[in-house]
Structure 1
Amino acid sequence: MAEKKTEKAEAKTEAKEVRVENPLALVEKVKKTGKLKIGINEVTKAVERGVAKAVVVAEDVNPKEIVMHLPALCKEKNIPLLNAPSKKELGEKAGIVVGTAAIAVLEEGDAKKEIDALHKK
């Protein structure tokens, strides 16, 4: 008797991580014409509610454990996950004076084409 494979058993735990040439430029464009949520707690809530269009996480977060749940959540909700080089740069592009570990895009604004392209990858 052969066992049936289920989709759930075959599902990978990795998020749909997408490489974008410049995720910081995307964040800056959304900041000007769209809507962002800034900070790990706000991003987590936006992803859990399914309102985030994309998530950007800084690579230099320390300790890594504070953002380790985001890839799994993004995978579950089918939300693209992008990586930014640093918290400081991510915060600057989001319009705040301090660094931030994560940002969620709620409304794309003028970056709609770029965000839609991320969903297709």
Structure 2
Amino acid sequence: MSVYVTTDIPADLAEDALEALEVARDTGRVKKGTNETTKAIERGNADLVYVAEDVSPEEIVMHIPELADEKGIPVVFIETQDDVGHAAGLEVGSAAAAIVDAGEASGDVEDIAGKVEDLD
């Protein structure tokens, strides 16, 4: 487990979170990549943040969990960058993503956020 991974996310919850990201991508708004995700967190626009566990060097995303925690935004740690990128609609991996407008996934996002907060 990487240094920045603060919570061990169960596989079924991670899968549900990726499905919610896909729905939000199609019906809402999603920010992709470390920079866009960081901006969404800083502005308080993110509803749910995704961070890949296989980022190297780790310093690229190390600030995201702490920043999200300060803003009260739940973070889901996903096993690979490819999983995050593909769920966000990219053909390549992404170190991070954020749901800004959940669209039709709003109920799922609220449920996932609650479960992630309960894990802490």
Structure 1 moving runs of 4+ over 4 Å: 14-18
Aligned residue identity for 2:19: A
Give distance in 1, aligned partners of 2:53 and 2:83.
Answer: 11
State TM-score, norm by structure 1: 0.80
Q: Which residue of 2 aligns with 1:68?
A: 62
Give distance in 2, aligned partners of 1:65 and 1:16.
Answer: 15
Aligned with 1:104 (options 77, 91, 98): 98
CA change 1:17–1:50 in 2 (3 A) is farther
Give the structure with the larger helix fraction. Answer: 2
Q: Which residue of 1 aligns with 2:84?
A: 90
Deviations 1:54-87 (A, max 9, x none): 1001111111111110111111000010011111
State TM-score, norm by structure 2: 0.81
Partners of 1:15 and 1:74 within 8 A in 2: no
Q: Which residue of 2 aligns with 1:113?
A: 107
Q: Which residue of 1 aligns with 2:24?
A: 30
Q: Which residue of 2 aligns with 1:41?
A: 35
- The answer to whether the aligner puts 1:79 opposite 2:73 as a matched pair is yes
Aligned residue identity for 1:108: A
Work out the percentage of aligned pairs sharing the same amino acid. Answer: 40
Unpaired segments ≥5 residues, structure 1: 1-13
Unpaired segments ≥5 residues, structure 2: none
CA change 1:18–1:32 in 2 (3 A) is farther
Number of residue pairs the alignment of both structures matches: 108
CA change 1:63–1:72 in 2 (3 A) is same
